[in-house]
Each structure stands twice: as structure tokens, then as C-alpha cells.
Amino acid sequence: MRASTIEPESVTQRVDELLAEVDEVRQSVGDTFDLAALSRQAELLDQAHDVLTGALDEVDRR
């Protein structure tokens, strides 16, 4: 059995950073509908999903 190369703290930190960026985008547009901002938020959430999925895949291999 090999040790996992995933550090939970680094996963948490990266996801927190991405979610903070999502919130910054939301705050920057306020109550207005901005398709570009929505697209950016979707990209950031997709990246957070990829980070979490990658971490789960790594843990599952153990």
C-alpha cells in the first residue's frame, strides 16, 4: 500500500482560493446580470470541482 500524495490542507486551500474568486466576481457585478462574470464563475467552480475530484481519485487508489 502506498502513501497518498495528496495533502488535505493544500486541497482545502486551493478550493478556498477558487471559491473566494467566485465570490469576488459576484461582488464585482453586484445585482446586475453579467454573462461574462457568470462564465468566469462557472470556470472557477469547474476548477474547484476538478481539484476535489482529483483528490478523491487519489485517495480512492490507496
In a domain, 15, yes or no: yes
In a domain, 1, yes or no: no
Q: How many structural domains does the chain have?
A: 1
In a domain, 36, yes or no: yes
20-41 pLDDT, tens digit each:
999 999 999 999 999 999 999 9
pTM exceeding 0.75: yes
Decide: 51 and 18 in contact? Cβ < 8 Å: yes
d(CA 33, CA 38): 8
In a domain, 3, yes or no: no
Domain of residue 39 covers 8-60
Q: What percent of the chain has pLDDT over 90?
A: 81
Averaged confidence pLDDT in the chain: 92
SS3 23: helix
